[in-house]
Amino acid sequence: MSTLPARDAESRRPSPAAPGARLDAPTEDTAAPAAAQPGDAAAGGGLRRIEATFARLRDAGELGLFPYLMAGFPDVATSHALAQAALEAGADGFEIGVPFSDPLADGTTMQRANARALAGGATLETAFDLVRTIRHHSASVPVVLMSYYNPIRQRGEAAFAESLQAAAADGVIVPDLPPEEADDLHAALQARSLALVPFLAPTSPGSRIGAVAALAPAFIYCVALVGVTGARSDLSDTLGDFLGRVRAATPAPLVIGFGISQAAHLRRVAALGADAAIVASALTDLVERSPSEPVAAARAYLTELKAATRGPLVR
């Protein structure tokens, strides 16, 4: 996950590699990039898959539910089982975290998840492998990676975009790469019909909202609060005003993240005009608290949340 206030501060490009970061080391169990499948970017996936999903949700009057899964957390096998359980629970899309040693936008829950995944040997390739598993089970569900910039820079923007397409992912969220410095990555992704998902925060000025809107993004990640990631009991009273400012500038789908943890949160953001919500820290907390049955616990939790996104109270 990521933060927005950093986006609206003076931008700075990160160093080539943070100390101790495991950027792209090969692992013995790393699978080779999968051949393009039906439904990947070359065959109508990527941007088209994202567009089709939001069109379906609008037609059904539903709020999209996008679980966040950290690749390799709590271990590789369980992360793959969690993805399948999320699909069974009705997930409409996924955000897949790339483990990183210095997750500046994340709170304590996601910091622990990053550290545990790295300790287990997870890398960027682990994230691509998780995408391939999701794509094996669903040709239609959008999957975007969430990666800090260092792993992408280490591989190179063009090579990263090629790997993203080969895994049949649909785009990437980069919390520490401001739009002003994203031209190379944006071009590499656009050439493959893949999405670069921008952030906006409650502190974003009108000029930043306008700049993001001008990109005509596949969707916009709207941060529900100021601060780092983490489950919250309440959402900001100013969230509606923030979403209204963004909606006035762009027709792009708005996806809410940071602090979403309850069915009531989903109903509220839907009523405020959001198109989807990302559930991250609360799901990660639950997996961490359920060492004997993490998959069953996650399935039940996500099933409950997805039920809250349907019905006349949602819109």
Q: Any idea which of 4-13, 55-64, 274-283 has the lowest mean pLDDT?
A: 4-13
Q: What is the pLDDT of residue 62?
A: 96
Q: What is the pLDDT of residue 106?
A: 79
Q: Is the pLDDT of residue 42 over 60?
A: no
Q: What tens digit of pLDDT does each residue of 125-158 get? A: 999 999 999 999 999 999 999 999 999 999 999 9
95 assigned to active site: yes
Catalytic residue (choose from 95, 125, 157, 275): 95
Residue 14 binned pLDDT confidence (cut-offs 50, 70, 90): very low
**pTM for the complete prediction?**
0.84
SS3 letters for the chain?
A: CCCCHHHHCCCCCCCCCCCCCCCCCCCCCCCCCCCCCCCCHHHCCCHHHHHHHHHHHHHHCCCEEEEEEECCCCCHHHHHHHHHHHHHHCCCCEEEECCCCCCCCCCHHHHHHHHHHHHCCCCHHHHHHHHHHHHHHCCCCCEEEECCHHHHHHHCHHHHHHHHHHCCCCEEECCCCCHHHCHHHHHHHHCCCCEEECEECCCCCHHHHHHHHHCCCCCEEEECCCCCCCCCCCCCCCHHHHHHHHHHHCCCCEEEECCCCCHHHHHHHHHCCCCEEEECHHHHHHHHHCCCCHHHHHHHHHHHHHHHCCCCCCC
Q: Is the pLDDT of residue 229 over 70?
A: no
Catalytic residue (choose from 8, 24, 92, 106): 106
Q: Which one of 18-22, 116-120, 268-272 scores highest in mean pLDDT?
A: 116-120
Mean predicted lDDT score pLDDT of the chain: 85
157 assigned to active site: no
- In the chain, the domains with their CATH numbers are 47-308 (3.20.20.70)
Q: What is the mean pLDDT of residues 21-45?
A: 41
Q: What tens digit of pLDDT does each residue of 52-83 get? A: 999 999 999 999 999 999 999 999 999 999 99
Q: What is the pLDDT of residue 234?
A: 60
